[in-house]
Amino acid sequence: MKPIQLLIFIFFVSFSLPFSAQTDDKVKQDFQASSVNQPGKEFPKVNSEGRVRVRIEAPQANNVQLDIGGVKYDLEKNDEGIWIGESAPRDEGFHYYQINIDGASVPDPGSKYYYGAGRWGSAIEIPAHDKEFYVMKDVPHGSITENIYFSEITQSWRRNFVYLPPGYFGNSEERYPVLYLQHGSFEDETGWASQGHANLILDNLIASGKAKRMIVVMDNGYAYKSGAKQNAQEGRSKSAFEEVLIDEVIPNIDKKFRTKASRAYRAIAGLSMGANQTMRIIMNNLNLFSYYGGFSGTSNYPGNKKIDTSIFLNGAFEDADEVNEKLKVLWLGLGTKEPEVFFKTVGDFREMLENKGIQYTFYESPKTAHEWLTWRRCLHQYAQLLFK
Amino acid sequence: MKPIQLLIFIFFVSFSLPFSAQTDDKVKQDFQASSVNQPGKEFPKVNSEGRVRVRIEAPQANNVQLDIGGVKYDLEKNDEGIWIGESAPRDEGFHYYQINIDGASVPDPGSKYYYGAGRWGSAIEIPAHDKEFYVMKDVPHGSITENIYFSEITQSWRRNFVYLPPGYFGNSEERYPVLYLQHGSFEDETGWASQGHANLILDNLIASGKAKRMIVVMDNGYAYKSGAKQNAQEGRSKSAFEEVLIDEVIPNIDKKFRTKASRAYRAIAGLSMGANQTMRIIMNNLNLFSYYGGFSGTSNYPGNKKIDTSIFLNGAFEDADEVNEKLKVLWLGLGTKEPEVFFKTVGDFREMLENKGIQYTFYESPKTAHEWLTWRRCLHQYAQLLFK
């Protein structure tokens, strides 16, 4: 496992300390059903403090816990065999969790399921005060299309999800710029169009005139050459994602959809592991892209030395004039509550950029950690700068 | 709850009888990981007899069961606190299931999740001998597009999934006929393009020249007028689905996509509840459709009288000549292992058609019950007859 993978793994799936669920009268009793519950399900719930309350019927169980944010909260059983309890307040945003029943870690049957932290499982949304930018509104909506392709490099069927902006289907002439947008470690191609709300963020920005109409392509960042060990979690194989993206995905997209197929109209961005991957990809392929966005990660992660531009990414940042000319936007974003290592590496990276005189934009998402609210906000900021 | 809903509910979610898991040497030990497991997950598994073997770590649990097909199979715990066991042989096809841990009914953390039986939860595929018609092959692939729309009738955001055939994006002129394809009770708009494999069935048929290129629209069959009680499971509100489909969905699809927008190029089909709904819709709207498919259901369900055509569907089948002229295809399909009531009602319906001299096609899916393998086969048969 690579260091970044290990850290994310620990971050999401750590051996949790047991806590007693708060059931005293300090808990505000204004719980509402979560916005990501299954149809008709009353639980899980969230209150105005950001506490998550779960409920599960398990009459013969000895011990049931809510496992969220690296902490396990004991639930209490009532006379009907129903276990109930809640977490301490959680930050605004999107959080994976599971229920632990007598040692079995399972999805909550009340929640919808998402791919993250290396599994399909439960998640909950603590409503954000600024959620307006990613909620469904009465504006023209783009479409998410599942695009299946066969990769000769990996010798496997792969897919991406493609956001086609409002109006794409209504005309047959207009061509659009393209943003390639990548997920993070232990996530997949479903993340951005599901928990990431990339489609709604773009719909709302486009409707308000703040972003250009664009196509967004969300592929799977795990790719290994045929014959190489494909176990992504062990990370032993050299990733072939750059090759897949450059040699297969981009030609496929440019052929299938009405794109503007040149570097002036191509952007790339990614979160966490995807920030790392896409930084390397753009610096290796400045002939193909002119906009970069790194959300919660940079390509020097988890380096602990000052960046030596003569060797870093094969000297890609040595010639500041060239970088300034070719990268119309170099954008970095981070949540203020992310683990220190992210501040350290992004800080080192920024210091390098400043020492070289390379222009960049830095954004901090207030009071969010290494999770999807940070990345939704990053996309919301970054997308406004593209193709202008 | 309507009778058909009640029956389906009992069928899928019945109070199961406990059985001891088979662990004797009569069980063939050729278990393979299920094709619908989460990435990297070894369990659940299926053997060549169609037994389902599950495994879950629950060291403190008293009792763990596999709940599939209306039967609960006790698992056995090993020294490491891991519970393991398997079901009796199951029919080929797609089956919902859950794990029961000390009374808690939860999804299996090893499987992918599907919407069916009224919840997002686990399912397993017992490989069918004829699965070739719905597996991913090296043929041109169409795309599934999520299409969001606001319904004035229900005053809510709704969506359908739209299959666009291979070549749709590659040209800007060709127009296509449209099949409206509906799910059953306790299912939703995700079913046909997920566990139904409608896209792969069409891709394979189109590639072999057996079906015309067509658009397939899969909407949600639950729709209630704004202000009416929206709890679908209670079924107390009059469905507004016909109105939504006719007044909102079809105009939206014809406006957004390159359709052939006339009755000669419009088909409708549905499974179970959807067969019932779509039969009523087509007979009320013969000016809009000319092909009907009813999979595992008819509009007289669960009637127990001979059909009196003078009153049935307001006399829609009285004039056989008109029906024969307007319905280019009237197609009925059923699995041979479906509950008797389906044979009874489809039989009554067929008897009525024969007495009236109305032409129809009847198909029986060998050795399948009221589940998705029946419906995949029905779609495979039915789609070959359309728009020819």
Within 8 A of B144 by CB-CB distance, chain A residues are 145-146
d(CA B47, CA B33) in angstroms, rounded, equals 9
Q: What is the location of CATH 3.40.50.1820 in chain A? A: 132-383
Q: Is the pLDDT of residue B4 over 50?
A: no
Determine the residue of chain A that is closest to B145 in CA distance: A145
User: Which tokens hold the place of A354?
Assistant: 């400043």
pLDDT value of residue A9: 43
Contacts of A147 in chain B (CB under 8 A): 143
Q: Between helices B372-383 and B198-207, what is the axis angle to 10°?
A: 30
pLDDT for res B226: 85
* Segment 324-343 of chain B within 8 Å of chain A by CB: none
Residues in B 338-377 with any Cβ partner in A closer than 8 A: none
Per-run averaged pLDDT (10 residues), chain A, 388 residues: 44 48 74 97 98 98 97 98 98 98 98 98 98 97 98 97 96 94 98 98 98 98 81 66 98 98 98 97 98 94 86 95 98 97 94 97 97 98 98
Inter-residue contact B212 to B387 (CB < 8 Å): yes
Residues in chain A closer than 8 A to B60 (CB atoms): 62-63, 102-103
Residue A40: left (phi > 0), alpha (psi -120 to 50), or beta? left
Q: Decide if A143 and B143 are in contact by the 8 Å CB cutoff.
A: no
Q: Which of A36, A82, A101, A137 to mutate to test the interface with B (most CBs of B within 10 A)?
A: A101
Does any CB of chain B come closer than 8 Å to the CB of residue A321? no
CB contact under 8 A, B138 and A145: no
| Nearest alpha-carbon partner for B382 in B268, B285, B242 | B268
- Residue A133 to residues A202, B111, B384, Cα–Cα distance (Å): 9, 34, 45
Strand partners, A176: A259
pLDDT of residue A228: 62
Partners of A99 on chain B (C-beta within 8 Å) are: 104, 106
Query: What's the gap in Å between the CA of A191 and the closest CA on chain B?
Result: 15
pLDDT at A3: 45
Question: Hunting for tokens 């069918």 — which residue is that?
Answer: B128
With tokens 């509009």, the residue in question is B299
Angle at A290 between CA A285 and CA A292, to 5 degrees: 90
Average pLDDT of the residues of chain B: 92
Contact A109 B112 (CB under 8 A): no
* ipTM higher than threshold 0.85: yes
List, as one string, the DSSP characters of A148-180.
Answer: EEEETTTTEEEEEEEEE-TTTTT-SS--B-EEE
Residue of B295, B305, B292, B294 lying closest to B344 (CA atoms): B305
Structure tokens at A376: 């939704």
Does the beta-carbon distance from A112 to B106 stay under 8 Å?
no
Closest Cβ opposite residue B143 in set A98, A146, A233: A146
Angstrom distance (rounded) from CA B44 to CA B67: 13
Which of A57, A63, A147 lies closest to B103 in CB terms? A57
Nearest chain A residue (CA) to B108: A106
Residue B19 pLDDT class (50, 70, 90 cuts): low
Which chain A residue lies closest to B232 (C-alpha atoms)? A40
Please tell me the distance from the alpha carbon of residue A73 to that of residue B251, in angstroms, as a whole number. Answer: 51
Question: How far apart are alpha carbons B163 and B168 in whole angstroms?
Answer: 10
Does B10 have pLDDT greater than 80? Answer: no
Residues 6+ apart with CB under 8 A from A296: A184, A271, A272, A275, A333, A334, A335, A338, A342, A370, A374, A375, A378
pLDDT digits (tens, 9 = 90+) for A327-342: 999 999 999 999 999 9
pLDDT of residue B15: 44
Parallel, antiparallel or unpaired: strands A329-335 and A291-295: parallel
CB A65 within 8 Å of CB A103 = no
pLDDT tens for each residue of B358-372 = 999 999 999 999 999
Residues of A in contact with B173 (CB under 8 A): 172
| B172: Cβ contacts below 8 Å, ≥ 6 apart | A172, A173
* Chain A positions in Cβ-Cβ contact with residue B120 (cut-off 8 Å): 38, 112-113
- DSSP, residue by residue, B151-183: ETTTTEEEEEEEEE-TTTTT-SS--B-EEEEE-
CATH class of the domain defined by B132-383:
alpha beta
Every domain of chain A with CATH number 2.60.40.10 lies at 3-127
pLDDT at res. A268 = 98
Q: Which of residues 7-36 of B touch A (CB under 8 A)?
A: none
pLDDT digits over A27-39, tens only? 999 999 999 999 9
State the pLDDT confidence band at B20, using cuts at 50, 70 and 90.
low
Percent of chain B with pLDDT over 90: 87
Instruction: Using CA coordinates, name the residue in chain A closest to B172.
Output: A172
- For B351, other C-beta atoms within 10 Å of its C-beta total 12
pLDDT digits (tens, 9 = 90+) for B154-206: 999 999 999 999 999 988 899 999 999 999 999 999 999 999 999 999 999 99
Q: A residues 252-271 near B, CB within 8 Å?
A: 255-257
- Supply the pLDDT for residue B21: 52
Q: Please judge whether B101 and A104 are an interchain contact, meaning their C-beta atoms are less than 8 angstroms apart.
A: yes
Confidence class of residue B5 from pLDDT cuts 50, 70 and 90?
A: very low
**Quick one: average pLDDT of B32-38?**
98
| CA dist., res. B66 & res. B97, Å (int) | 7
**A62 and A102 in contact (C-beta within 8 Å)?**
yes
- The strand pairing partners of B329, in sequence order, are B291
| Residues B102, A62: C-beta atoms closer than 8 Å | yes
Looking at the complex, does the CB of residue B1 fall below 8 Å from at least one CB of chain A? no
Closest Cβ–Cβ partner in B102, B157, B256 for A61: B102
Domain B3-127: homologous superfamily in CATH: Immunoglobulins (2.60.40.10)
Burial of B264 (0-12, 13-18, 19+ CB in 10 A): exposed
Distance between CA atoms of residues A298 and A360, nearest Å: 13
DSSP structure class, residue B318: S
Task: Give CA angle at B90 (B85, B92), nearest 5°.
Answer: 130
Half-sphere exposure of residue A264, counting CA atoms within 13 Å on the CB side? 2
